[in-house]
Amino acid sequence: IKYSDAIFTQSAPSIRQCPADSGAEVAFAGRSNAGKSSAINTLCQNHKLARTSKTPGRTQLINFFALSDNQHLVDLPGYGFAKVPLAMKKEWEKHLSEYLAERQCLKGLILLMDVRHPMQEFDTMMLNWAIEGEMPVHILLTKADKLKKGPAQNTLLKVRKHLKDAKVDDLVSAQLFSSLKKTGIKELENTLDNWLRI
């Protein structure tokens, strides 16, 4: 798959208004500011593809990017910052869990976590929903450039051990990633290639 061919196709204000459930799709999820939009841009070598921001909560719509007529990447809005009212957060959680459970074309979830504080409450919740539905998950420990090699590698090993102890390592994998240093792209591509193959 040529990720640099990705083009923006549409935004949906809610999961209920997504395009038709066909082909293969992979969604990028994670807390606000985890680096979802940046990772999509890095992968697709196009810094103008998905809008990134220093302000958490930049992406409020669900954005769809096409790699071909029937292969898509989805940039999900993140949250975890106090700006959003609790009722809206709960509503979004409900939609998100439904999307994970019901979307047939969703082949896997890329779950992004800042390498400096992985496995927060939101992350665990997303992981549990995915595992319940036997949805494969690939964890990107993002902003790996913010840590020295040793500590970053240690975090990765800890996350992998956690997955193994929870007996979900057949369904959930993890890697380090940095949009700034452009590291981890090939590993991410391999996972996506497998999931998006039709």
Q: Interface residues with ligand GTP (CB under 6 A)?
A: 30, 32-38, 52-54, 56-59, 77-78, 142-143, 145-146, 178-180
63 lies in the site for Mg ion, by CB under 5 A: no
Among positions 59, 71, 178, 191, the unique one binding Mg ion when judged by CB under 5 A: 59
Answer for the pair 119, 159: CB distance below 8 angstroms, yes or no. Answer: yes
CB nearer ligand GTP, residue 146 or residue 148 = 146
175 lies in the site for Mg ion, by CB under 5 A: no
Instruction: Report the nearest approach of ligand GTP to the CB of residue 198 (Å).
Output: 27
User: Which amino acid is residue 2, in one-letter code?
Assistant: K
CA–CA separation, 195 and 108 (whole Å):
7
CB nearer ligand GTP, residue 78 or residue 108 = 78
Among positions 18, 25, 27, 37, the unique one binding Mg ion when judged by CB under 5 A: 37
| Helical (H) or strand (E) element with 107 | strand 106-114
DSSP state of 19: P
Question: CB under 5 to 8 A by kind: which of ligand GTP, Mg ion, none does 108 bind?
Answer: none
Q: Which residues contact 184 (CB under 8 A, 6 or more apart)?
A: 140, 144, 175, 176, 177, 178
CA–CA separation, 80 and 56 (whole Å):
9
CB nearer ligand GTP, residue 30 or residue 108 = 30
Structure tokens at 116: 């400096």
CB nearer Mg ion, residue 33 or residue 97 = 33
Phi, psi of 37 (to 5 degrees): -65, -40
CA–CA separation, 66 and 64 (whole Å):
7
Instruction: Report the nearest approach of ligand GTP to the CB of residue 178 (Å).
Output: 4
179 lies in the site for Mg ion, by CB under 5 A: no
Instruction: Report the nearest approach of Mg ion to the CB of residue 165 (Å).
Output: 31
Q: What residue ranges bind Mg ion (CB under 5 A)?
A: 36-37, 59
